[in-house]
Amino acid sequence: MKITIGHTTHPGIKRDHNEDTYGVNNPKQIFLVADGMGGHDHGEIASALARDNILLGMQNNMPLEQAILNANQEIINSSLEKTGDLPMGTTVVILKLENDKFDCAWVGDSRAYVYQNKALQAISSDHSYVQELVDQKLISAEQARSHPHRNVVTQALGVTDNSEIKVANSQGQFQSGDKFLLCSDGLTEEVDDQAIEAIMSQDMHPKELADQLLIKALENGGSDNITVLVVLID
């Protein structure tokens, strides 16, 4: 199995700094995107702590969920040491590939997709207020895109104790030709799934796909930090 990756990140048009981050461990075939929040430098610290602690834990063969919980505790500890409060948090989505299977875990509204059999499928489901409304059939997925509270997340690392945090996960199989996409909500806020699918369907290097997705998000407003990571299975 040959894996080719492409990634890009951008502060967006309306933000003056970037609190997103991403990480890759090629030997372990682990890929990660984190979207920090908290203002000033706090979001950047939270997302970096998530990235570093999760990748380190998984490098040492720690189970995916435990690596996430350890990162959550590290962010909480860092917040308390710096301010005595909990001013920072981060979403995270992680993809691990092994043989012909994928394992995905997430907290928050950063997303994972797979482009498989000429169709884009969501692997993750947002931990967000509007997703809960969609799940309860109180609003449609289309209404969720313009809902005034669409950016309210219900789970995030750094703000929820390990006894209460809910790490979501999904598993499946992949095959040659499949493409995975991990992204922060700066992409999905501006580009709907249909437009993402149209770009992911193109026969391009993953870096070109990532760049095209970023450009589309910027063209559509670029209201938030944007991070895109594309993984191609050859």
The tokens describing 169, both together, are 């996960």
d(CA 186, CA 31): 18
Q: Please calculate the CA angle 37-125-96 and round it to the nearest 5 degrees.
A: 85
Give pLDDT, residue 149: 67
pTM score:
0.93
Give pLDDT, residue 87: 76
Domain spanning 3-233: CATH superfamily: PPM-type phosphatase domain (3.60.40.10)
3-class secondary structure for the chain? CCEEEEEEEECCCCCCCCCEEEEEECCCCEEEEEEEECCCCHHHHHHHHHHHHHHHHHHCCCCHHHHHHHHHHHHHHHHHHHHCCCCCEEEEEEEEEECCEEEEEEECCCEEEEEECCEEEECCCCCEHHHHHHHCCCCCHHHHHCCCCCCCECCCECCCCCCCCCCEEEEEECCCCCEEEEECHHHHCCCCHHHHHHHHCCCCCHHHHHHHHHHHHHHCCCCCCEEEEEEEEC
Which amino acid would we find at residue 174?
Answer: F
Burial 119-146 (b: 16+ CB within 10 A, else e): ebeebbebbbbbbebbeeeebeeeebee
Question: What are the 10-residue block averages of pLDDT along the chain, 234 residues in total?
Answer: 95 92 96 85 90 96 96 92 78 96 96 97 85 70 70 86 93 97 96 97 98 98 96 96
d(CA 233, CA 206): 10
The tokens describing 69, both together, are 């919980």
Backbone φ, ψ for residue 227 (5° rounding): -135, 135
Give pLDDT, residue 232: 98
Give pLDDT, residue 115: 98
Give pLDDT, residue 136: 73
